[in-house]
């Protein structure tokens, strides 16, 4: 009798364990389904959001759908007023971009590269007092950097009177390319509508910016072995974007062929192909073997 009772107890324990396992399996399936449904919802929302952005990106109020420019303009004007009155000190840092790149050191990643170059800075440096020139460069760098960050971009570095920035491709390559162009246009608006009206009150010359953008694969390199060593981006895309920027007109945005092809069809007509007669232009489209094309804002 005792052996039968023991076997029954063992059998009941096995049944109980099996039931617990079944419950865990059911729970796991429920959790997995919830995660899958959540993922599908996020993807669907992203697609809907992208479509909403695309449908509105060509409208007059397109940028305001992404960034409240009126609020940003008000903040920038206030900062710039105070800077010119020597009551505000700009504090611009590249640490955010360096921290992002630290995760990708010694690897190749695809990025949208954006160069923003201040026009006429050499002439200003010869005519303006040093303190005024420094204030203008700091304001230019800080305010355009804040625009870049508003569009989820990162500042790589400041090179004299130029800002070099990048946008990770992330979930949606096409959307990032569209947003980088919108960012470039917002940077121009920041200069023409935000800073220049204030400069006029101080008899300063108007500022202008030229912007070049392209997308491609880049190598992330760190100059040293400790984490505090500078991190840089190297690659064909960087060189092409720098050259495109140098050939761009004042307060214009130019884009490389690779990025142009990814722009929304409604955005492409706002650009025109540049007939390039620069003898130094030797960049090649790797797919076709032809000279690499670029396009500038009409």
Q: How far is CA 84 from CA 58, 81, 192, 281, in A?
A: 35, 5, 17, 40
Q: What local confidence, expressed as pLDDT, does residue 63 receive?
A: 40
Strand partners, 213: 114, 255
Q: Which residues of 205-223 are buried (b: 16+ CB within 10 A; e: fewer)?
A: eebbbbbbbbbbebbbbbe
Distance CA 219, CA 231 (A): 10
Strand, coil or helix: 209: strand
Q: Please indicate, yes or no, whether the overall pTM of this predicted structure exceeds 0.85.
A: no
Q: Tens of pLDDT along 224-267?
A: 888 789 999 999 999 999 999 999 999 999 999 999 999 999 99
pLDDT at 59 over 60: no
Distance CA 105, CA 11 (A): 58
**What would the 3-class secondary structure string for 212-225 be?**
EEEEEEEEEEECCC
pLDDT at 111 over 50: yes
Q: What local confidence, expressed as pLDDT, does residue 125 receive?
A: 87
CA 11 to chain CA centroid, Å, is: 63
Q: What local confidence, expressed as pLDDT, does residue 55 receive?
A: 47
CB within 8 Å of 19: residues ≥ 6 apart: none
- Taking residue 62's Cβ as centre, other Cβ atoms within 10 Å add up to 17
What are the structure tokens assigned to 272, written together? Answer: 């025109």
**Which value, to the nearest 10 degrees, does the dihedral of the CA atoms of residues 164, 287, 276, 112 take?**
-20
Helix or strand run (H / E) with residue 116 = strand 107-118
Mean pLDDT, residues 138-147 taken together: 88
Q: Tens of pLDDT along 112-130?
A: 999 999 998 888 888 888 8
- Sorted by where each starts, the structural domains of the chain and their CATH numbers stand as 68-297 (3.30.70.1230)
User: Would you call 111 exposed, middle or buried from its count of C-beta atoms within 10 A (0-12, 13-18, 19+)?
Assistant: buried
pLDDT grade for 201, boundaries at 50, 70 and 90: confident
pLDDT grade for 134, boundaries at 50, 70 and 90: confident
pLDDT at 96 over 70: yes
Mean model confidence pLDDT for the chain: 80
């Amino acid at each position: 009798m005792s052996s039968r009772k023991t076997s029954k107890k063992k059998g009941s324990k096995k049944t109980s364990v099996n039931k617990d396992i079944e419950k865990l399996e059911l729970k796991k399936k429920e959790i997995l389904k919830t995660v899958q449904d959540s993922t599908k919802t996020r993807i669907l929302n992203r697609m809907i959001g992208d479509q909403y952005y695309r449908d509105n990106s060509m409208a007059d109020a397109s940028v305001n759908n992404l960034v409240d420019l009126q609020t940003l303009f008000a903040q920038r004007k206030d900062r710039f007023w105070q800077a010119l009155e020597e009551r505000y000190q700009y504090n611009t840092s590249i640490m955010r971009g360096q921290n992002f790149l630290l995760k990708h050191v010694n690897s190749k990643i695809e990025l949208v590269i954006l160069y923003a170059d201040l026009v006429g800075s050499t002439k200003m440096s010869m005519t303006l007092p040093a303190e005024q020139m420094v204030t203008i460069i700091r304001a230019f760098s800080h305010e355009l950097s804040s625009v870049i960050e508003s569009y989820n971009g990162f500042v790589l570095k400041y090179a004299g009177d130029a800002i070099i920035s990048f946008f990770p491709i992330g979930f949606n390559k096409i959307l990032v390319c569209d947003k980088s162009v919108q960012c470039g246009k917002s940077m121009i608006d920041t200069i023409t509508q935000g800073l220049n009206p204030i400069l006029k009150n101080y008899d300063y010359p108007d500022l202008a910016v030229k912007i070049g953008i392209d997308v491609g694969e880049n190598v992330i390199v760190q100059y040293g072995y400790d984490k505090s060593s500078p991190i840089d981006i190297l690659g064909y895309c960087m060189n092409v974007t720098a050259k495109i920027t140098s050939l761009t007109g004042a307060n214009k945005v130019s884009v490389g062929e690779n990025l142009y092809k990814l722009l929304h069809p409604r955005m492409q007509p706002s650009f025109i192909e540049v007939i390039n007669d620069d003898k130094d232009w030797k960049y090649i489209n790797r797919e076709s073997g032809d000279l690499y094309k670029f396009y500038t804002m009409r």
